[in-house]
Structure 1
Amino acid sequence: MRDVLTGAGFREIATVRSYHRTPPCAPARERAVRQLIFEPEHDDLWDRFYERFRFQPSIDTYPGVTEPPASVTWHLGTGHAIAGELDRLVRRGLLACVRPDEPLYFLDWNHQGYRFDPLRVGGPGRPFWPGTAYPDGDYHLYVTADLRLGTFGHPWEESLCVFGADLLTEVEAGLTALLGPVMRRGGRNAGNIWTIGPDGVTRVRP
């Protein structure tokens, strides 16, 4: 072909070099992050969460779920100033606990949710890590598909419940240092109860 072109009057003015990248492993079969809202998978996960945790969404029902035995709940009254560090601690704990190739889910009550691969999100050149542990206006959850571990953020109680023994091992000390004394363990009062109402925050001691 080169001889044909030069014979027709074309002349060579530059050369081109091609590069081919060979990944060290097979390409991922799914995207790192997938939006979920009307998919059966999304509805099924919410339905199972409602049933297992007896979820009662309400602006004045606390704690809103039946907290499992392996759970710890903290008050979030320090506000958005701690949201970034809260996410750092929770994300590090989730990364340490998920199984190989296991997805995580971020659920935002009455909003779009996400299924994502925690090993392939966050950081330069990667998709964003979906959601936040801090419940910014509605209930926020991070959960595994089998609901064995995760977090439940209550926006009106201003609380965060972390459940699952493995996840608690990873995050309890850090969250206590960040958020202060524990509110509940296994759904039971751990020394003080916080209620949030129109008159502000009231601490009631047993």
Structure 2
Amino acid sequence: MRADARKNRDHLLAVASEAIAEQGVDGSMRDIARRAGVGLATLLRHFPTREALLDALLRTSFDELTVKAAELEASSSPEDALVSWLRDCVTWTTTYRGVTVLMAAAIEDPESALHASCVTLRAAGARLLARAQAAGAARTDIDGADLFALVAALAWLGDQPSLAPGADRLFGVVASAILTSAGRDGQPHDRMGES
């Protein structure tokens, strides 16, 4: 891609990121184009569908969370890595209202532009969970799909104005439920409620 085309595409993505953070994943494509100072046809030339725009916008974040999982796996205890990654995922998913619905649909639809990124992200969480389970720090009756569902549930809480104030406390409750008593030596448990 030429440098000027890359710059234009990056500008559109930056504007889309702000608009979608404000309006949610169903935000207006026309509004994104207007905010970017281009016509709708220009936006559609770069991103022919809403899903293509969201794929480009979200894939980078999914990839960052996947890399973060690998870094945590190499640098942290199994329970700390799992809880830190879980918190990062929940925090990120609350950035874009409605993204959890999109992720849940994409993971079930191999034709979705977001499918591969969602599958990779879920696999990264599953590896952290399996590592914690092997260390006896996490319960063994859940899997990566369950962990992915818990991220979606916790993110949904953050999207609800009346429930958002208690979302951090409930994150601690869920994280405590995932960890076994062997994974709770005081330290990880204390960090679960941190923002």
Return the structure number with greater strand share.
1
Of structures 1 and 2, the larger Rg is shown by: 1
Give the alignment's TM-score, normalised by structure 2: 0.26
TM-score, normalization by structure 1: 0.25
The higher relative CO (CA closer than 8 Å, separation ≥ 6) is in 1
